[in-house]
Amino acid sequence: MASIWNHRISISLFGEAEGPAIGVVLDNLPPGEYVDIDRLARFMARRTRSLFLPEDPNQPIDQPAVLSGLINDRTTGSPLCAFLTNPRGVQQLDYQDMSHLARPGHADYTGAMRYRGFADVRSGGHLSERMTIPLCFAGAVCQQMLERRGIYVGAQITSIHNIKDKPLSQTDVTRDDLLALRKRRLPVRNPAQGKKMLADIQNAMAGGETLGGTIACYAVNVPAGIGSPIFDGLENSIAQLVFGIPGVRGLEFGAGFQTAKMTGSQCNDTFYVDERGHVKTQTNHHGGILGGISSGMPICFNVAIKPAASVQKPQPTVDYSALTNEVVQADGVPHPCMVPEAVASVEAAMSIALVSHLLDYPNFV
């Protein structure tokens, strides 16, 4: 399984969706970094909480078990290994009858071809979106490292289905803007739009359907000069991690595909020196990265998340063992929209990529 990401720091994910535990090993982290486990657990809870159940302030937050690499809340320099046992209530379904059915939108068929029929098909096994939970552990550690150095990462839902929320400014987004989004159950700027999104998700769930959407992610106070050109660009690392999140179908930096409709003079971001003597650009069509290297402007990108594949209605498919046409219907707990839980995963991807490149930056360690 291609579950190892290695770029100055190394991240290795382990476990399966319905196995006893899932977890991560981080290697090459600098020693002496403080890790607030309670804060880390709150970050991970954003990935797993339900939007359709009332919040209980007394509900304990699952804390990951740290096996190595952390003593007295400080990294030791040895591999940081953490795991979470799978919660009670994971659906232990009988997959025997489905083991050769190519569920539409899932990786059953491609996984069977790649791993010769031996891959765990229960809830997607190692190909499940649940593997973003240990990714969020790694991202939460990196996010704390960044914030001690004044760099903040945050994300908002900009659309679900056809309902949109106004994105933050790509030139003037601030630390306070990002922290405000984190405090909301549904990270949108306009609560009225958030209510419409939730209602749309509930309507889709009632009809057995699922919905997709878009997420905008930002990083502020990233110094200029982070990253490298060609194959080691900052965008390259971000993209590799973001596309490791199941359900991601598209990624654009700055103005993205809109730049194809611009002229050169419209697309170019003109430079100026602000009142504090900082070099900035009037606009941020480049999304904070030029030539694979950070410009000092906010790093901004948009992510498209597809509708969850677990549609609760019959769909035609094939039995790829018997080569017969069949019909399949998703079973278990409905999963109407992956977008809200993907927000923390996207933040994690950005944070990991930034730390991996900032380790080369003078005085970061």
Tens digits of residue pLDDT in 310-320: 888 899 989 88
In a domain, 118, yes or no: yes
In a domain, 206, yes or no: yes
Give the CATH number, domain containing residue 138: 3.60.150.10
15 close to 22: Cβ distance less than 8 angstroms: yes
Residue 233 has pLDDT above 90, yes or no: yes
- Where residue 197 falls (left for φ over 0; alpha for ψ -120 to 50; beta otherwise) is alpha
In a domain, 138, yes or no: yes
In a domain, 329, yes or no: yes
Q: Which two tokens stand for residue 68?
A: 């190595």
340: domain range?
A: 4-358
Tens digits of residue pLDDT in 253-291: 999 999 999 999 999 999 999 999 999 999 999 999 999
* Average pLDDT of the chain, as a whole number: 90
Q: What is the mean pLDDT of residues 211-240?
A: 97
In a domain, 363, yes or no: no
Tens digits of residue pLDDT in 48-75: 776 665 565 555 566 789 999 999 999 9
Residue 240 has pLDDT above 90, yes or no: yes
In a domain, 213, yes or no: yes
In a domain, 365, yes or no: no
124 close to 106: Cβ distance less than 8 angstroms: yes
Cite the DSSP H helix spans in the chain: 37-48, 108-114, 132-147, 175-182, 191-206, 234-242, 264-267, 339-358
Lowest mean per-residue pLDDT among 32-41, 83-92, 178-187, 190-199: 83-92
Confidence category of residue 219, pLDDT binned at 50, 70, 90: very high
CA distances to 77, 81, 135 from 28, rounded to whole Å, are 7, 12, 16
pTM: 0.92
Where do we find the tokens 């106070």? Answer: 221
| Cα gap 346→216, rounded to integer Å | 9
Determine the pLDDT at residue 57.
57
Confidence category of residue 328, pLDDT binned at 50, 70, 90: confident
| Cα gap 167→155, rounded to integer Å | 10
Count of domains observed in the chain: 1
Give the number of other Cβ atoms within 10 Å of residue 278's Cβ: 10
In a domain, 242, yes or no: yes
